Structures are given as structure tokens and as C-alpha cells.
Homo-oligomer: A and B are copies of this chain.
Amino acid sequence: MSDSSKSKSPSRRQFLSGAAAAGAGAVAATAARAAGPDPLITEVQAWATATGDGVDATPYGLPIRFETDVRRRNVEWLTADTISSINFTPIHALDGTITPQGCAFERHHSGAIEMRKQDYRLMINGLVDTPLVFTYEDLERFPRENHVYFCECAANTGMEWAGAQLNGAQFTHGMIHNMEYSGVSLRTLLQEAGLGAAGDLKDKWVYVEGADASSNGRSIPMEKALDDVLVAFKANGEALRKEHGYPVRLCVPGWEGNMWVKWLRRIEVVDQPVQSREETSKYTDTLADGTSRKWTWAMDAKSVVTSPSPQSPIKHGKGPLVITGLAWSGRGAIKRVDVSKDGGKTWETARLGAPGAKMALSRFYLDTEWDGEEMLLQSRAMDETGYVQPTKTELRDVRGENSIYHNNCIQTWWVKPNGEAENVEVS
């Protein structure tokens, strides 16, 4: 190896970086901060002196033990027990856009049930020409599709209506995951049963329910049912986990997670919505005047800075800093994300990791220089419809403070000079 390596002082590199940043296409440079003699240069590293572990030590590969903190987590006080409860995706520690199933959030209404594929049945009944019952193997014989979609619980960020409550992006925004689903279009299955008996489809609905005790029944307008709803049996290539609805769940792209019925057992074509518990007493938004709005299916455009954030503080001092986060919209693709360091007074347009895709998470980055001073970090998403993510004040002006669901307001992290971050509100 070369013996000419030398460590470079952060300040010099930052100076160079500052100079380079004036040029077009310049990248934010960072410092090589090796302290003292480096084992790479002067010594043989320990890992090169012995062999490591052999292949296939476990049936299913797990994260390295140093990453055990990257896991779904509960908030103890949120629910009375874990049977009807939620855990949160560790979005503060992830990058890119795909969520591994192993750390994707769960929400159960009566616990996760265990069903074998051979016991699985899906019935389509109601206003159809021929009621049908499908086995799992039947479903595999229909043409399949693959799509990456986000699934967000309508209650994501719900605890924040009243004020800054939870100190971490995992807890404020972690009821979301984003996976590549494989399955059969619901349209295909409805056409197999035949919709002639339903007459004019304009005012028809499908009622979908799961096999668990809650049944979690929801009404979906026929227009959506025939558009992009997917009867899915794989996520990120492999079988759905038990907790995500094995062997079959519904994907209702862009719409609230409660409608993504797990352990899907029945689809009934009906001439009016069922007005089930899940769409009347729950998953409605109580407004300031005490009335409730319902049929609030689509998740409005939203974003959050995942790093830096309370669980992902800045550890490296001033200089080059990557600010990153996630943005999404239930009404289409994300077109732009802006980032503010001063609580919304000024904004910079972030870089999207890839062009936005419909009803899928977008990753954004702002490659910047941190001056070591406090920041009020915010992100603001815009989708292809022109919709702009609102401030918390704007949202409260319209919806009051009694809601639980559909809080898509701009989030603020107060980043302190020591690099730690806190959940705060700015007026």
C-alpha cells in the first residue's frame, strides 16, 4: 500500500469544498478525518488475518448484530395491549425508498392471524354474474402485476395534532412502508365473476373484508376498484409476512392503510357503501365544529426529514451535511421537495433520488454545508396535481385540533448546535 497517505484537516477540506461549491456541478466535499496512524496504512487489519463465517449459517439472513436498533418499535402508551396496536418503521435509519418487510410497520385490529395457503379462500359475491370462491392456487393462474406502492396508516402523525409529542421520525411518521407488490388486479377478478349483474357501475361499491376477527371491512368505490387496486401475494418478491396479511392482502394505492385489508377473504359488490365501523366511528376526521368528514381515502402529499432528526443526530460538527428524507402523495407522483433550515422562512429545492413514481415513496436529499448553528429543519412536498403540503397552522385552520387521522402537515426538527434534534412546533 502507499505510504504517502496523510490525514487532512477538516477545516482545509471544508475550505476547498466551499470554493468548489461555487462552480457548476460541484459536490459537497467532506473531510477525511482519520486521527493519527491508521491501521489501513501501517498495520494489517485483524479481519485479514483469519477466515470469517461460512455461508448459510441461518435459514433466512438477518441484519448484523450491530444494527439491532434498526427495528420496528411500539409506543407503550398508545394502546391498551398489543393485539390491537401499531409499531413503527425505523425510517430514521433507512435510506433509499424500499422498506424491507422485516422492519415494515404493522397495524392489527385483532392480532395477526396465521393461515396456511391451502386453507386460504377468497370469495367474490354480491352483485356479480357468478359468485366465485378462489383458492390461493387459483389466484396464481391469473395475469400478475408488479408495482411499488407506499402504505400509510391514516393515523400516521396523528399524535401530533395537539402539539409536538413524539421525539423521532420513526414515531411521528413511521406508520408507513413502501414495497414492490406482486399480485392480480382486482379488476381482473371482478371481471371473472362478471359485473353485468351490477348494472351501471358508476354508483356501485365493493365491500372488502379480512379473515381476522376484526374483519376490518371497508367500502371502496367501484371506480377505484376497477382502476389500480391489487390483490397481492408477494411483497419485495417474497411471500407477505404473517403480520402483513399472509397469504393475500389488498393494496389500495395511495389510499389509507386501513383499506389495505389483510388476510383478504371476501369482496362483495354492493349498491351502496356498507358504513362499517371502520369507516364511520373510525377513520373519519372530527372537525372543529364537531361534525366529521368521511371518505377521506387518499393520503395527501406529505414529507419528513429522516436525517438529521431526533433519532439521527448530526455527529460530525459543521461542514458538509446531507439532509435527507421521504416524500409521498396518494394522488400521484412527487414532483418537488423543498427544505427549509429556518422554520419555513426560506426554502431550497432538494434533489430527488429518482423521478417521482405514482403512489410510491420518493427519497430526497439536500447536499449542504452546516454552519454549526441551530436549524429549524422542515421539508415541503409537492405532487403532480400541484398540491403543496400545508403547515400545521394551515391544516388546523381548516380541520381544527380534534382529528386523529390525515395529518400531513409540515414537520419541524429543531437541530441544536451540538447536533441533537428535537420535535418542535413553529408558529
Contacts of A56 in B (CB 8 A): 72-74, 82, 87, 106
Q: Which of A303-358 contact B (CB under 8 A)?
A: 315-316, 319-322, 324, 351, 353-354
Contacts of A164 in B (CB 8 A): none
Closest-by-CB residue of B relative to A82 is B54
Q: Which of A96-134 contact B (CB under 8 A)?
A: 96-104, 106-108, 110-117, 121, 123, 125-126, 130-134
Closest-by-CB residue of B relative to A215 is B48
Contacts of A414 in B (CB 8 A): none
**Are A100 and B31 also in contact (CB < 8 A) when A71-B59, A117-B66 are?**
no
Q: CB-CB contacts of A66-106 with B at 8 A, as 1s and 0s?
A: 11101111100000011101110000011111111111101
Contacts of A290 in B (CB 8 A): none
B30 touches A138 (CB 8 A): yes
**Are A144 and B365 also in contact (CB < 8 A) when A112-B52, A213-B50, A238-B103 are?**
yes
> When chains A and B are docked, how far (Å) is the Cα of A271 from the Cα of B123?
67
Q: Provide the main secondary structure of the chain A interface.
A: loop
- What is the distance, in angstroms, from A409's C-beta to the closest C-beta of chain B? 25
B211 touches A48 (CB 8 A): yes
Interface residues on A, range: 35 or more
Q: Does A151 contact B (CB under 8 A)?
A: no
- What is the distance, in angstroms, from A322's C-beta to the closest C-beta of chain B? 6
Contacts of A278 in B (CB 8 A): none
B40 touches A141 (CB 8 A): no
Q: CB-CB contacts of A45-68 with B at 8 A, as 1s and 0s?
A: 101111111111001111110111
Closest-by-CB residue of B relative to A32 is B132
Contacts of A38 in B (CB 8 A): 121, 123, 133
Q: Does A142 contact B (CB under 8 A)?
A: yes
Closest-by-CB residue of B relative to A125 is B2
Closest-by-CB residue of B relative to A178 is B237
**Are A71 and B60 also in contact (CB < 8 A) when A123-B41, A141-B28 are?**
yes
Q: Does A145 contact B (CB under 8 A)?
A: yes
- What is the distance, in angstroms, from A375's C-beta to the closest C-beta of chain B? 16
Quick one: which of A49, A52, A138, A351 has the most chain B CB within 10 A? A52
A130 touches B8 (CB 8 A): yes
Selected from B41, B94, B123, the residue in CB contact (under 8 A) with A133 is: B41
Q: Does A205 contact B (CB under 8 A)?
A: no
Q: CB-CB contacts of A162-193 with B at 8 A, as 1s and 0s?
A: 00000000000000000111100000100110
> When chains A and B are docked, how far (Å) is the Cα of A267 from the Cα of B246?
45
Quick one: which of A38, A82, A239 has the most chain B CB within 10 A? A239
A212 touches B96 (CB 8 A): no
> When chains A and B are docked, how far (Å) is the Cα of A319 from the Cα of B115?
27
Q: A31-B141, A33-B135, A143-B351 are in contact. List 18 more A-B contacts (CB 8 A).
A: A2-B125, A2-B131, A6-B130, A8-B130, A27-B142, A34-B133, A38-B123, A40-B265, A52-B212, A53-B111, A63-B241, A96-B234, A98-B236, A141-B316, A141-B321, A142-B367, A144-B322, A182-B363
24 pairs, A vs B, C-beta closer than 8 Å: A1-B125, A2-B123, A30-B141, A32-B135, A39-B121, A40-B265, A47-B211, A48-B213, A51-B111, A52-B108, A52-B112, A54-B83, A55-B82, A56-B74, A56-B82, A61-B102, A61-B241, A66-B117, A67-B246, A94-B234, A94-B237, A95-B237, A97-B180, A100-B238
